[in-house]
Structure 1
Amino acid sequence: MNSTRTLPPSAANTDVHKPWLADLLLLSAIWGASFILMRAAVPEFGPLPTAAVRVCVGALFLLPVVWWRGLMPDLRRHWARIFVVGILNSAIPFSCFAFALQSITTGLSAILNATVPMFGALVAWLWLKDRPGASRVLGLIAGFAGIAMLAWDKASFKPDASGVAPGWAVIACLVACIFYAIAASYTKRYLMGIPSLVTAAGSLIGASLAMALPTAFLWPAKMPSAHAWLAVVAAGVMCTGVAYMLFFRIIANAGPPRALSSTFLVPVFAVIYGAIFIQETITPWMVFCALVIVCGTALSTGLIRLGLSAAP
């Protein structure tokens, strides 16, 4: 693949010393850990309570930061639309991934999560009329082919030992990615100009409120262990609260495209964590499909272009 843009050697060399690179690696490592943490919590909490506690902890972590920075008026002024983002971007996706992690590995779920920018490009095309060029269309085709190949290997809809069929788990991950993509276009259309930290904290508050009632009904009869609580609180503080703050700092220092490039690194960390801590198997087929998906995503988002035609 040849990109139509190349940085001069001097620019490329200076990028190596940019502080945002350390933030990017740290963000990817933290988000990669979210899958193994949620997997540790799900057996005792259940999928929806796991997601609910995570967003609630994240909201409690970020809300004081919003207040300290004097951004509460922005939150009060735009709360309704921000809360909608919370349902689209946190409540539904986190619940879907928690459900999926009962059956499939953390590495597989993280690889599927890497399709978010690709689905984002598709939703933006259909909703915002952000028409992609030929190179990006080719990327969409390649990315969906990679998903199909990966999903085919888990196509069984017969429940396994967890009681969840792997096929349904894969579909849940893809549903989560679609909702992430819808949330991105919704934000671009209705929430531009609002401080990102306000959107992050407000969306987590909205997700917490939306999930409160169903969580009360589905709360486990037996109180989860300290190990499960530690896992879900860590996911809320580190993988939600701290991760959002790092993400927004990268956007401020290096721009959105570089911040979104964390999507390509998250599966690497998730696969490594899964192999080290819970002895998950990494198959050559998973690696091959992951490469196809990542290449397709890079093309579909315009991060790499083949020079087939000028971007519209």
Structure 2
Amino acid sequence: MGVKSALQLLLLAAIWGASFLFMRIGAPSLGPVWLIEARVGFAALFLCVVALLMKKSLSLRQNWKHFLFLGVMSSALPFLCYGYAAQYLTASMMSIVNALTPVFGTAIAALYFRTPLSRNTVIGLALGVLGVSVIVGFDPELFKTQAWFAVFVVLGAPLCYGIATTYTQVGPSVAPFENAQGSMLMATFALLPIAMFFTPNTTPNATESLSVIALGVLCTGVAYLIFFKLLGEIGAPSLLTVTFLIPIFGVLWGVMFLDEKVGIHTFVGGVLVILGTMRTTGFSFKKALKSE
């Protein structure tokens, strides 16, 4: 991996890590539904503008069912899980749970294709569960509020990502940019009828409004462009590095901008989650850095 690609990878991890910060800022005023409707809406608008500038077409008529499934499972539902959890959990905790995505993806793929779970996958799952248990079990504040329920909700996000990842292995072959644009459009349309039954808790102030715009445009639209660019340049195995970098930035932004406290239990649990993900995927930083 070259220096330029490595810097872009760090930038992508920093942007995606910031998404948990922006959700923490925007969720209290907008609530989870309107927060996520705004996120996918701004992302869809941004990607549509990019598509017009790049003169890219979208095969919406032929692949609308495919885009709808992707939009719901890879964006709408997992984003809603994070949006709800952002009202109660720290950005640090959410970013660490997000690192379980490859673990869920590997397990779901094994179940769907009826292939035996390998020893590494089982160990990785066990380490991931143990990591989350350490983070939650040693945080007494979680059991004093509705936060304990938010822990179960936030685990739905990597579960949805795992289902979406498995689906892409059997779904129609569509260009990556089309998948991004089409899924964001369909996620926006899918959430709109639901949003009609909810109202924002309060009118967002300037900081909250800017956070929501950044969440949609920067953390979703721009991040997708960087992601697909890196996917073509360094390949999926090296790009998996971003999974382990996101929690670092998620914790960093939470501490810097939200004054979040990171206890030793969060650190230990986070390490266990990342080790579990690495064990499940067979990931190696040494191999990732060498590959192009």
TM-score computed with the length of structure 2 as normaliser: 0.92
Q: Give the Cα separation in 2 of the matches to 1:252 and 1:76.
A: 27
Aligned residues of 1:143 and 1:292 also touching (Cα < 8 A)? yes
Please give the alpha-carbon distance, in whole angstroms, between the structure 2 residues aligned to 1:104 and 1:38. Answer: 11
> Which residue is 1:116 aligned to?
101
Aligned 1:193-272 pairs, distance under 5 A: 193-220=173-200, 222-272=202-252
1:147 deviation in Å?
A: 2.1
Shift of 1:154: 4.7
Residues 86-105 of structure 1 correspond to what in structure 2 (within 5 A)?
A: 86-105=71-90
Q: CA deviation at 1:132?
A: 4.4
The answer to whether the Cα contact below 8 Å between 2:136 and 2:142 also exists between their aligned partners in 1 is no
Structure-2 separation of matches of 1:202 and 1:155: 42
User: Could you tell me how far 1:213 is from its partner in structure 2?
Assistant: 1.4
Distance 1:154 1:92, change over 3 A: farther
How many Å apart are 1:144 and its aligned residue? 2.0
Residue 150 (str. 1) matches residue 135 (str. 2) = yes
The AA in structure 2 aligned to 1:186 is Y
Distance of 1:221 and 1:143 partners within structure 2 = 34
Q: CA deviation at 1:201?
A: 1.0
Name the SS of the counterpart of 2:37 in structure 1.
helix
Pairs within 5 Å for 1:1-312? 15=1, 17-154=2-139, 160=145, 165-191=146-172, 193-220=173-200, 222-304=202-284
Amino acid at match of 2:216: G
Measured in 1, the distance between the counterparts of 2:116 and 2:277 equals 16
**TM-superposed deviation, 1:140:** 2.1
Equivalent residues of 2:134, 2:266 under 8 A apart = no
1:100-142 deviations in Å (ceiling 9; x for gaps): 1111111011101110111111111111335443233322222
Q: Give the aligned length.
A: 285
Moved more, 213-222 or 68-77: 68-77
Residue aligned with 2:169, SS: helix
Do the aligned partners of 2:29 and 2:201 also contact (CA within 8 Å) in 1? no
* Cα distance change of structure 1 residues 130 and 154 upon mapping to structure 2, 3 Å threshold: farther
Instruction: Find the residue that maps to 2:73 and give its secondary structure.
Output: helix
Q: Give the letter aligned to residue 148 of structure 2.
A: G
Q: Which has the larger radius of gyration?
A: 1
Offset, 1:156: 7.3
Q: How far apart are the structure 1 equivalents of 2:201 and 2:118?
A: 53
In structure 1, distance between residues paired with 2:117 and 2:110: 7
**1:154 and 1:170 in contact (8 A); partners too:** no
- Closer, same or farther in 2 for the Cα pair 1:124/1:212, shift >3 Å? same
The 8 Å contact of residues 58 and 178 in structure 2, kept in 1 or not, is answered as no
By how many angstroms is 1:232 displaced?
0.3
Residues 239-278 of structure 1: CA distance to partner in whole angstroms, max 9, x if unpaired? 0000011111111001112222211101101111111111
| Structure with more helix by fraction | 2
- 1:222 Cα offset (Å): 4.3
DSSP-derived class of the 2:122 partner:
helix
What is the TM-score with the length of structure 1 in the denominator? 0.86
Alignment RMSD: 1.9
Q: Which moved more, 1:280-289 or 1:145-154?
A: 145-154
Residue deviations 1:226-245, cap 9 Å, x none? 22111101100000000011
CA distance in 2, matches of 1:236, 1:204: 10
Contact map agreement 2:36 2:83 (CA 8 A) in 1: yes
Q: CA deviation at 1:157?
A: 7.2
1:298 Cα offset (Å):
0.5
Task: Kindly provide the amino acid, as one letter, of the partner of residue 180 in structure 1.
Answer: Y
Kindly state the Cα deviation for residue 301 of structure 1 after the two structures are TM-superposed. Answer: 1.2
Letter in 2 for 1:93: P
In structure 1, C-alpha distance between the alignment counterparts of 2:231 and 2:209, rounded to whole Å: 31
Residue ranges of structure 1 left out of the alignment (5+ in a row): 1-14, 306-312
* Identity, % of aligned positions: 33
Structure 2 gap segments, 5+ residues each: 286-292
Q: Separation in 2 of the partners of 1:90 and 1:33?
A: 17
Give me the whole-angstrom Cα distance separating, in 2, the residues matched to 1:82 and 1:223: 32
